[in-house]
Amino acid sequence: MFLNPLDGLIILGLGVGAFWGFNRGTFRGAIELACLYLATLVTTLLFQKPARWLASRFSLPLPFVEITVFTLLLLAAFFAFFYIAMDFLRPPQARYLGFADRLGGMVFGFFFALVIISLLLVFLDYALGVNWLRWEHLRKAILETRDSSFVAPLVKEFGRSILAVLKPFFPKGLPALIPTEAALFQPLASLHLM
């Protein structure tokens, strides 16, 4: 088992998330994770119409516009929900459980980073499934790195549970940006996203 640069980035991201959560504490970590879930749900419901409009208006490739719009809406929704939640909810003052509070925050921070990284890997798979015109050599290099990664499939397995949580809100099926469970583990050569 050899780790490649993508594995290193994923492990670094998980470590940064755990450190961030350790400094924030359990209460803020739980609020951040709940706000991220709510923001992901709202963004998944809303991103398609603005993305299609921007892609047709400015003649841009739809996959990249979808990723950009999804990311911007996700950030805006997350910070809006987090600001509202922190305005109405105050963290409890725990004098004697400071270290336990930080350890709980570390767990929530780790899972927060895991959710973010799994979303980024979904975006990466979606972006790698289309032609990059003058950047095809870079797409192939990223694809080879992703395919040889040891950690990325483990994070994608966690991504399956995220998709299962979103499914009840989409009776017609999830958007193309978010693959189905079957497509999540297929090699990209068999996916034809356009």
What tens digit of pLDDT does each residue of 141-162 get? 999 999 999 999 999 888 777 7
Task: Name the amino acid, one letter, at 53.
Answer: W
Q: In this predicted structure, what is the pLDDT of residue 61? A: 86
DSSP string, 80-147: HHHHHHHHH------SS-HHHHHHHHHHHHHHHHHHHHHHHHHHHHHHHTS--GGGHHHHHHHHHHHH
Among 134, 182, 141, 139, which residue's Cα sits nearest to residue 5? 141
Question: Containing domain of residue 123, as a range?
Answer: 5-190
Query: Cβ neighbours of residue 47 under 8 Å, at least 6 residues apart?
Result: 66, 69, 70, 73, 175, 177
pTM of the entire predicted model: 0.83
Higher pLDDT, 137 or 186: 137
Cβ neighbours for 167, distance < 8 A, ≥ 6 positions apart: 174
Q: 35 pLDDT exceeds 80?
A: yes
Calculate the CA 32 to chain-centre distance: 14
Give the pLDDT of residue 122: 85
pLDDT in tens, 47-81: 999 999 999 999 988 888 999 999 999 999 999 99
The position carrying tokens 């899972």 is 111
Could you say which DSSP state residue 185 is in?
T
| Residues 115-133, mean pLDDT to the nearest whole number | 85
- Distance, in Å, from the CA atom of 177 to the CA atom of 122, rounded to the nearest integer, reads 8
| Model pLDDT, residue 193 | 42
Residue 190 has pLDDT above 60, yes or no: no
> How many domains does the structure of the chain reveal?
1
